[in-house]
Every structure is written in C-alpha cells, then in structure tokens.
Amino acid sequence: MIRIPPKMIYIVIGVVVLTFILSSSGIRKIILLKKEIVRLEKEIEQVRQDNERISEELSWIENEDDYLEYLARKNLGLILPGEKKYYIMPESEE
C-alpha cells in the first residue's frame, strides 16, 4: 500500500482550491456575489429609512389629533359638519 505524506495532501487540496478560485467562473461568481451584496445593502438601507419615516408618521397619528384631521381632509376629502367643500374645475379649452 502506498502511503501519501500529509504534506502532499495539503498541496493537492491547495491546488484544487486555487484552481477553483482563479478559474474564470469562480472569479465571475465572486464578483457577481459582491455586486449582489452591495445591491442588497442599499435595499436594506432604503427599507430602514422607509421604516423610520413610517414609524414617525405613526407616532404623529397616534399623538396628534390635528395631524389625523389633516390626513382625513387631505386623503379622504372629509369635512366637518357645517363646512362646504368647493371644487375648482379646469377651464375648458375651446
């Protein structure tokens, strides 16, 4: 039986690993994965900013009655009893 020295096994493993890393597909894959990481980090930052903005708005809605009224008027077109709502129509082009 042939005995292979441990040093030779490490050399073979090192060559295989280096071949994989330095092969065009290995490098290409690493570059693509790094680009994907950058894209995902930007997306995570955007989601964090959106989450912060939404949390602030929720705090305003929960704590400020005037802000809730503002949102109801702006987004739902609600008015208080006794108020009149006016619509301004664009001039017709003739």
71-82 tens-digit pLDDT: 888 888 888 888
**Does 47 have pLDDT greater than 90?**
yes
- Residue 24 is predicted with a pLDDT of 65
Residues 23, 30: Cα–Cα separation, whole Å: 11
Structure tokens at 31: 């570059």
Average pLDDT, the chain: 86
- Residue 34 is predicted with a pLDDT of 95
As a whole-number percent, the residues of the chain with pLDDT over 70 amount to: 97
- Residue 45 is predicted with a pLDDT of 97
Residues 67, 63: Cα–Cα separation, whole Å: 9
- Whole-prediction pTM value? 0.51
